[in-house]
Structure formats: C-alpha cells, structure tokens
Amino acid sequence: MPRPRPIARTAEAGLTNAEIARTFREIGDMLEILGEVVYKAVAYRRVADAVERYPDDVAVLFRRGDPPKLPGAGAALTVKLAELAETGELAYHQKLRAQVPEGLLEMLRVPGVGPRTVRQLHDELGIDSVDALRAAASDGQLRGLKGLSARTEENVLAGIERLERVSTRILLHEADEMIAGLVAHLRAVPGVERLEPAGSLRRRVATIGDLDLLAATERPQDLVRALDTMPEVERVLAAGVDKSSIVLAGGPRVDLMICHPRAWGTHQVHFTGSREHNVALRGRAQDRGLSLSEKGFKVVETGELLPEATEEAVYARLDLPWIPPELREDAGEIAAALAGTLPQLVTDQDVRGDTHLHSDWTDGVDAIEVMARAARDRGLSWMVLTDHSPSLGITGGLVPQRVAEQRAEVERLNAGLAPFRILHGTEMEIRADATLDYPDELLATFDLVVASVHTARGQSSAQLTRRTLAAIENPHVDVIAHPTGRIVNRRDPVALDWPRVFEAAARSGTALEINGSPRLDLDDALARAAIGAGVRLTLASDAHRTEELDQLRYAVSTARRGWVTAEGLLNRLSADELREGRR
C-alpha cells in the first residue's frame, strides 16, 4: 500500500510518532492473539492513540530528557516508550514478534477480522496467512467454528477483495500532504502561470490513485526538468515535451500535464474529469458540430481549433453554467445545470463553528483553552467540546462529577475568550443494548449532545439500526456522529436501515454528522440522500489535537460532493442560535 512520502528528519528525531504508535498498536494486537488479558492490549492501544495525536516529536522529547505526559502511559509503558524512542527498537516487541507468525498480523488488515478471530482461526484451523484464510473461507471451513457462520465467510472474502482493491489508493488527506510540497516547488519555477491539482484529487474523492497536476506555461521543458530532479522523486517513468510521469519515494505516481495558457480551460476540464462527465460534455459538443478534447473545441466542418483559457468559457460554449469540480460525476449535474437548479454548495466561509472535538480531559492531546484558541485563530466563532462518556473505557470518559467540573472550566474560559464561545457538549456512547451512557437529566444540561456507536459494531444491521434510532428518538440527542462507523481504507461502514434512519432524523430534527477525519462519514452519497430526505446535517473535524482542526475542510469537501448547501447546516448558526435550537 502506498505510504506518505517520508519527511526529512534530523538524526536526533529517530522514529516518528506514527512509527512509535504502530509498534504499540501491534503489541496490543499480538497480546490478544496470544490470549493475554484484554486490558493489557487496551493499554498499549490507548498509548498508541495518544502518541499518534501528540503534536510534538515524542522520540525527540524522550531523547532530550523531557518525556511527555501521555494519557494512559503509566510507569511501565513509559519505560518501554523511552527504550523505543532512544534506541529505535523495543525488546518486548521483538519478543512478541518471535511468537506471532507474520501472516497472522497480515490477517488483521482484513476488514472485520480482529485479534481474537485470528487466534481462533490459527488455533483451530491452522490458518496463518491471508491466502490460507481466503482458501478456508471459500471452502466453507469457517462456519464450523464457534461464533462464525456462512455470513462470516462472505464478509471475510469481501474484506480480502476490498483490501486488495484499496491497497493502491491513498486517503484524500494523505494525497493533499504528499502533493503540497510539489505544488509549492513547481509554482515557483520561472514561467509557470498556473499550476493546480487535477483528476480525482480536484474532485475531492475520498481515495486517490495517481496524483495529477496540470500546469500552464510557455516554458514546459523547464517545468519538466524541475519536477524530475526533485529529491523526492524515486524514478522518472516518462519525460516529454508536455508531460512528465514520476514516482515519489515511498509514494504514488505523479502525472504532470502541461499546456499553453490559452488552452488552460479545456485542459483543466479534461484532466479534472470524471470520465463519465467528460463523455457527456463531448456529446453536447458533437450536437453543436464540435469535437471537444483537452486542446480545445475543433469545428468539425472546417477543422478550426478553438482553445479556451477558462473553464467558464468551456461550459458556456456548451450552453452550460460552470459546474463545480466536486459535482462532475455524471450524477445529474448536467441536467441540474440545464434546469438552473445546481445547488449553491457550502463553502469554508459558511462554517462558523465545529460541532465535534476533544480535549485532554479524555482522549485528546491539547487542553481546552489551547483547542479553543486554535479554533478561533482559524476564523471560527464557536466550537463544541465533545469529550467522551464513561462506557468507552479506552478514552477515559467523564463521569457526571467530572462533567460538572469541566462545565465550570468552560465557563471560566469563556469569560476570557469572548466573543469566541466554547459550547459544552459530549460525545456519548450508544451502548450495545441501545441505552444511552448518560441519564436524561444530565443530557439536558449540555449545550449539544452528540451520540455515537463505537462498540459492538459486529451486531446485525437490525440491532445497529435499533441503537441508532434509540438515540435519534431521544429528545436530548442533537447529533449522530460518524453514523456508519467507517474509516476510509481501514474499516468498512456498518449497514443501517437508511430509510428508517433518515425518516426518524428528519422527523425529530436530529442532525447527522459529516466527519472530516479519515472516516469521511457520512460519505457523499449518503449525505446527498440525507438532504433529499429532509435531514439536517452538521460538519465536524473530530479533532483530538489542534492540527486536526483542519479536518473540518474535509467535511466541507465531502458535503460539496454530496450536493450540500449551507442551508440547514448546524455550522452556519451562531452559538446562541445553536443552543436555542435544542429541543
């Protein structure tokens, strides 16, 4: 699977936070596979989450003798962190690796296959690799094991297929990070007039294959040379007069297309896509006696080439208004353009607040005040603090007394941060039995209640729907967070009865969340279906540290792909309007 391009580090830095977290998370998995008590595995995973979210380089801090205070890292785990940070290795990790075959860890990458299942498959059937798992599921061998069924075999086979399918695609967030340095470097090349991402990245698709760039310049060879000689380039696949294809070190392929500035518009439309959208545009061109390509419009009768310098001019020649890139999927956007009903899509400027973020009171990294100041610095007017409730034990959720203490802290901070406002909320667990983690009398005291499912995701669709509906129907619940529970490229969404969920949410006024973290949940298709059913939506970063507040823009881009306007979004309200709107 492609990984983000390695960031240049000093000799002092050692392992990155992601590498340390990966080691601790793998220890947790191996402990479960080996049958150790669950709380030990949970402890390692909690520290892994804390390290991954920590804003500074944990290895550097340890090596400087200033180790950070990480949630869940007691004395024993801090010693292990120090060993890993200072030496780059951990003897305990290596000891466990010697006891757990590599193939068992690979099996954990299959969606829906957890450590306990891996242990069961290995102990009872001798399965020790993904290939062996595929063969056993295909032969119907899993259904004979306790707790497994024919449906399990179907899910395993689908999971393996999905794993192989997505292994070459990059999360949108990672793609942005990978391409940012290239864009900045190439825009500075003399003679470059325009340079922008293209393809699925410009359309803001959740996962990206190759990275596409489009540039306008009259000195193409200078630009090709600048790309091909960058230190991040592992190899050059092709270098021509108007195109270069390279592979980033440890990363994906990048295709740079170059055009003359006067043909920028047709090139940008062509290389943004999607293919189906472009086919529809070419059909309209043919109806007008034209042939459309990236080079421009060719008059069929005379062969005259008519380049266009802007996208607006391209669409105008086809008697269409400009269509936003996020909508170019041949999903009704051309019909809407013809009818004059294209939506006025939500923008970053429409978002006045963030309805879901965390602090170091539970599983976040930064203090409430630090998160608030960072949100204010990003131009927001308010934020909702939504630390966890108690039953999600790994997060250190807040018992009622701690809720009261946190509310007092929020009130104290608001006095000094005005006019910016911290709203006191919660992300409350919807338990496996469909009950809620806090009583109604406590829920009534929050400014906003966000409810979510994190546990018992293996329940049937009917059970998961029942849990979601129970929260929607509660008069004190305002938002259902990340409703499908998916994590892009890592975890599949659960299957809910969406017509029932949408009907209940629309009737009760409960909003569904578009989460801008790597969950990207709701996805664009469900978001569009939700607004079509009259459901209110909200956009959220789900930030656990200040840097993750920027994830709010991914919620915006997902919403735009889902045809979402600012109308009806909780985020466009003022803090007072949001509080007053609680039922």
**What does the radius of gyration of the chain's CA atoms come to, in whole angstroms?**
26
Same domain, 63 and 156: yes
Q: State which residues form the domain around 296.
A: 264-339
Same domain, 189 and 98: no
Q: Where are the beta strands (DSSP E) in 47-144?
A: none
Residues ≥6 apart with Cβ < 8 Å to 397: 362, 387, 388, 389, 390, 391, 429, 437
State residue 10's pLDDT score.
35
User: Would you tell me the crossing angle of helices 552-561 and 172-187 to the nearest 10 degrees?
Assistant: 100
State residue 2's pLDDT score.
32
Which letter, b or e, does each residue of 416-431 get, where b requires 16 or more Cβ atoms within 10 Å of its Cβ? ebeebbbbbbbbbbbb
Same domain, 310 and 194: no
State residue 166's pLDDT score.
54
**Which residue type does 574 have?**
S
State residue 249's pLDDT score.
81
Which residues sit opposite 297 in a β-bridge? 292, 306
CA distance 74 to 159: 36
Residues ≥6 apart with Cβ < 8 Å to 334: 277, 280, 281, 284, 320, 323
State residue 14's pLDDT score.
65
Q: Which residue's entry shows tokens 């009907």?
A: 503
Residue numbers of the chain with a pLDDT score lower than 70: 1-14, 165-168, 582-583
Residue 197 neighbours by CB distance under 10 Å: 23
Number of domains the chain contains: 4
Same domain, 316 and 439: no
Same domain, 417 and 465: yes
Same domain, 225 and 156: no
Nearest alpha-carbon partner for 467 in 455, 478, 542, 475: 455
Same domain, 55 and 137: yes
Query: Which residue, 259, 275, 294, sits at the end of a domain?
Result: 259
CA distance 525 to 520: 11
Same domain, 149 and 84: yes
State residue 46's pLDDT score.
87
Same domain, 532 and 574: yes
Tokens of 522: 């709701």
CA distance 12 to 339: 61
State residue 5's pLDDT score.
33
- Residue 2 resides in a domain: no
Same domain, 330 and 449: no
Query: Which residue, 339, 356, 387, sits at the end of a domain?
Result: 339
**Which residue type does 558 have?**
T
CA distance 94 to 117: 23
- Residue 7 resides in a domain: no
Same domain, 191 and 231: yes
Query: Which residue, 228, 259, 290, sits at the end of a domain?
Result: 259
Same domain, 91 and 181: no
- φ/ψ of 130, rounded to 5, equals -65, -40
CA–CA distances in Å: residue 565 to residues 343, 351, 525, 558: 7, 11, 14, 12
CA atoms within 13 A on the CB side of 403: 24
State residue 552's pLDDT score.
98
